[in-house]
Amino acid sequence: MFDAVTKVTMEKIVSLCKRRGFIFPSSEIYGGLESCWDYGPLGVELKRNVKDAWWRAVVQQREDVVGIDASIMMHPQAWVASGHVEGFSDPMVDCKSCRMRWRATDLSGDKCPSCGGELTEPRMFNLMFKTFMGPLEDAASVVYLRPETAQGIFVNFDNIISTTRKKLPLGIAQMGKSFRNEITTGNFIFRTREFEQMEVEFFVKPGTDEEHFDYWVNERFNWFVNLGIKQSNLRRRQHRKNELAHYAKSCTDIEYLFPMGWSEIEGVANRADFDLTQHAKHSGKNLTYFDEESGERYIPYVIEPSSGVDRTVLSVIIDAYEEETVRGETRTVLHIKPELAPIKVAVLPLSRNEKLVPLARQMYGEVRRHFMTQYDDAQSIGRRYRRQDEIGTPYCVTIDFQSLEDEQVTIRERDSMTQVRVPIKELIITLQTKLPR
């Protein structure tokens, strides 16, 4: 019935996101703020659904992971211990002609990619955002906005072990905002200075770390497949020794095939005992773990699956986006997995005819109690179906004049565009079967 047509580009995704209220440039009425984005009514639903899917999979459905929500600002010594004050830097170069600024590691030659001008020598630039706590702006009141959520987990390791009385292997999960003063940003929400991460620090007995590492790489890869992302657009990429972060023994990225090429959406790292050793040294606290089974005391090793919420949202939208030709017309559709769709059901009266409206409003009230629902009565029914297709709504419920007589409504399915009539009495149960939680 239909063929997929045009290739997806980032411009099309940015345009759809803006047009339909997924994502807007931040402070747009002031001309925007570089690399900052605001999630609109549909974007915020999609993002919540992604985060809920992650939380369910890594915390609620497992007995060996617990969650926390630590503060964004932490004791400044934590960032000295973690190595971020000393080493969380990128080499930056400037073009002497056009003044463009680049991350040296992104360049292949020694001339400016923009104008061919001469570049300065690289200077190291620390990526942490600094601010001051309290009224005095002096060195003693400097605090950082966290550049990763991970450290909030490490500094709570002892609290979690002593309050949950769980045994290793044990994971601690956290999601939340992180901040990096990136030298270069871009590709929409792919690289920004304020973003959200979803991280697990999985503490294991030294010597068992490699098997846990392999397990988490596969587990996380499959999670993206379960989100509905095509497996052919996902791959694993092992880091070379010279790319490894200062704390990592090994690292494998999960990459997605974005319009700009294969790029990281998640990194799974073996952080060995780096972080707990450092925090023990700098805080003076004993962060060893007593293993009752073996009678040994040791500093656990850590496997860290760390992904970006925004990059996951972006890959979900890109992967679901399709322009199809249907009976000579183009329809844009997001084939997004129903679990992630911002709107699950749209209730559409055939027209604004006063005879139809009471039943349609009644249906809307009922369906809304169970699912995220939208009511739309503007323009022709065909246009309204297209609008819902474009935002990924899996089901539309249409109320027509026949409904007033036979007490049935039509359910129209997004992907196949098939329509079935169901008795109003059975509408909720039918939708519940189609939209499992």
* Nearer to ligand GAP (CB atom), residue 90 or residue 377: 90
* Nearer to ligand GAP (CB atom), residue 273 or residue 310: 310
* Nearer to ligand GAP (CB atom), residue 309 or residue 431: 309
Q: 169: closest CA among 272, 303, 294? A: 303
* Nearer to ligand GAP (CB atom), residue 152 or residue 349: 152
How many CB atoms within 10 Å of residue 103? 15
Cα–Cα separations (whole angstroms), residue 342 to 101, 312, 339: 38, 15, 9
Closest distance of CB 230 from ligand GAP, Å: 19
Closest distance of CB 73 from ligand GAP, Å: 17
Rounded to a whole number, what is the largest CA-CA distance in the chain? 79
* Nearer to ligand GAP (CB atom), residue 193 or residue 282: 193
* Nearer to ligand GAP (CB atom), residue 94 or residue 275: 275
Find out whether 65 and 171 touch, Cβ atoms under 8 Å: yes
* Nearer to ligand GAP (CB atom), residue 210 or residue 264: 264
At 141, the amino acid letter reads: S
Q: 267: closest CA among 288, 283, 248, 291? A: 248
Closest distance of CB 414 from ligand GAP, Å: 28
Closest distance of CB 243 from ligand GAP, Å: 11
Closest distance of CB 21 from ligand GAP, Å: 21
Name the residue whose CB lies closest to ligand GAP: 308
Closest distance of CB 342 from ligand GAP, Å: 21
* Nearer to ligand GAP (CB atom), residue 302 or residue 409: 302
* Nearer to ligand GAP (CB atom), residue 125 or residue 375: 125
Q: Is 18 exposed, middle or buried (0-12, 13-18, 19+ CB in 10 A)?
A: middle
Closest distance of CB 39 from ligand GAP, Å: 14
Closest distance of CB 40 from ligand GAP, Å: 19
Closest distance of CB 92 from ligand GAP, Å: 15
The residue assigned the tokens 């292997």 is 169
C-alpha 298/C-alpha 205 separation (Å) is 8
Closest distance of CB 265 from ligand GAP, Å: 5
Residues that bind ligand GAP (CB under 6 A): 148, 150, 180, 182, 191-192, 195, 197, 199, 264-267, 304, 306-308, 310-311
C-alpha 122/C-alpha 230 separation (Å) is 39
* Nearer to ligand GAP (CB atom), residue 45 or residue 266: 266
Q: 152: closest CA among 304, 35, 39? A: 304
